Amino acid sequence: MKITNHSIQVGDKAPNFSATAVYEQEFKQIKLSDYLGKYVILLFYPLDFTFVCPTEIIAFSDMYNQIYSLNTEILGISVDSEYCHLAWLQLDRESGGVGELKYPLISDLNKEISSSYNVLNSDGKSLRGLFIIDKEGLIQHSLINNLDFGRSVDEAIRTLQAIQYVQTHVDEVCPANWQPGKSTIKSNPSGAKEYFKSI
């Protein structure tokens, strides 16, 4: 097992990978590079059959259609095997499983993907890392939580929308708490003054 410990940053090319995933009760091979031209949310989580993890995995699946409508796919990743993923997917939510999901769960059993994204902790589990990768394969956003608290799907979507907005409006930037339809800032001194006068 080759594990690296280099640091990646926002703006870097997202480390590519090829791994086995479970999707629609089937094993399939997934390459990150196959998603060029789309945005991707990489959703690292510690382990299947735990407590916080299913709440996140299910919440992102429940919002999948909205995320997909933003030209974005979700890929869940943990250090479990594909067989463990399959068992978790085949178990209903009331019994501790996640049931049918609308996106794949990737097996990172050799821990190379988690290591390449620098989310592998000293116990060999993935921290709660969330990465938004743009259509060119560049990391535009990263968020890493410790194990005991989950992430906000709504905030992930808001951030994704802000990324897409500024990438299509190159002379504008999004202020704090920006939501689609709200005011942006022209990225020059006079434009900034106009924004602050308007709020």
Catalytic annotation, residues: 53
Label residue 46 exposed, middle or buried (CB < 10 Å: 0-12, 13-18, 19+): buried
Q: Are 166 and 172 in contact (CB under 8 A)?
A: yes
Q: Tokens in use for 144?
A: 């890493």
Q: Is 9 exposed, middle or buried (0-12, 13-18, 19+ CB in 10 A)?
A: exposed
Question: CA 113, CA 92: separation in Å to the nearest integer?
Answer: 28
- How many helices (H) and strands (E) are present in the chain, helices listed first? 6, 9
Cβ neighbours, 10 Å, residue 27: 14
Cross-strand pairs, 77: 44, 106
Take residue 146 and report the two structure tokens written for it: 């410790």
Dihedral angle sign, alpha carbons of residues 167, 171, 174, 180? negative
**Which ranges of 63-111 does DSSP label H, i.e. alpha helix?**
64-68, 82-90
